[in-house]
Amino acid sequence: MRDPWRLLLVEDDRELATMLSEVLWGEGYAVDVAADGQRGLHFGLTRRYDVLVLDRRLPVLDGIDLLERLRSSAVHTPVLLLTAMGTVHDRVDGLDAGADDYLVKPFSLDELSARLRALCRRALDGTDVLSIGSGRLHVGHREVRLADGERITLAAREFELLWVLASHPETVHSREQLRRTVFEEASASSLVDTYVYYLRRKLGRRVVRTVRGVGYRLGAL
C-alpha cells in the first residue's frame, strides 16, 4: 500500500481551509495548509507534495505569482487553482502560468475530489521523468529513484541543478550558465560548485561530470 498522497492547500479563508483540510484528510490525503502565498511558496520549495491546491487571490503573494515562482524553480507538481475568478480570461491566465486544472468557487466537493484523483494519477504515471544512467529523476516528486528502488529526495536547488543537466545530457554547461539558470539572484558562480558537491554527496561522485576548463555535464548513477 502506498503512502498517503501529500497535498498542499494554500487558502486564506480560514473557514474554507479548515473544512477542505478535514474533508481531504478523510479521503486519505496528508494535508499541509498555508494561509498566504509566501508561506505557500516556502512549503512548495522545501517539501515534497503529490498535488497542490492554490487559491487565486492570496495575501502577501498572489496565487498566480506563487505558481509562476514554483514553476520557475522547477517544481512541476500538479496544481489545481481554486478561485472565485471564473472568466475565460482568468482561466487562461491560470493555465498559462502553469496550472494543470482550474475549479471555480462555489464548487462541488465530489468534483474537487475527482479532479484531485485525476491529477494524482497523472503524477503517478511518471510522465515527467528524466533518465540519469540507471536511475530516474522524478520531476513531480523532486526525487531520484535508483535502480534498486531507493528514493533520494533533493532540496529545491539541488533538484533544479540536476534537472537542468538531465534535460540536456550531452551538453557541457559552464559555471556561469548554470549560475544564471539556477541561481539567478546570486552573483558568485562558486555556488554552482557547492551544489555539485551536495549532489555528489547524496548520489555519488559520478552523477555530475567535470569537464576541465569548461564546466559540468550530466554523469550517471
Note the pLDDT of residue 127. Answer: 47
Residue recorded with cell 544512467: 133
CA distance 66 to 144: 25
C-alpha pair distances (Å), 106 with each of 2, 12, 54, 118: 32, 15, 15, 20
Which run of H or E residues covers position 143? strand 143-145
Is residue 77 within 8 Å of residue 67, measured between CB atoms? no
The model scores a pTM over 0.85: no
Q: What is the mean pLDDT of the chain?
A: 85
Task: Please determine, for residue 95, whether its predicted confidence score (pLDDT) is greater than 60.
Answer: yes
Q: Is the dihedral of CA 90, 63, 21, 99 positive or negative?
A: positive
Given a cut of 50, is residue 123 above it in pLDDT?
Answer: yes
Residue 185 CB coordination number (10 Å): 5
- For the chain, the farthest-separated pair of C-alpha atoms sits apart, in whole angstroms, at 59
End-to-end CA distance of the chain: 28
Of the CATH numbers 3.20.20.210, 3.40.470.10, 3.40.50.2300, 3.30.565.10, which one belongs to the domain with range 6-124? 3.40.50.2300
Burial 91-109 (b: 16+ CB within 10 A, else e): bebbeebbbbbbbeeeeee
pLDDT confidence of residue 193:
93
Pairing of strands 101-104, 79-83: parallel
Q: Are 166 and 74 in contact (CB under 8 A)?
A: no
Q: What is the percent of the chain with per-residue pLDDT over 70, rounded to a whole number? A: 90
Q: Is the pLDDT of residue 109 over 50?
A: yes
CATH 3.40.50.2300 positions along the chain are: 6-124
What is residue 23's predicted lDDT score, i.e. its pLDDT?
93
Cα 162 from Cα 164, distance rounded (Å): 5
As its CATH architecture, domain 129-218 has Orthogonal Bundle (1.10)
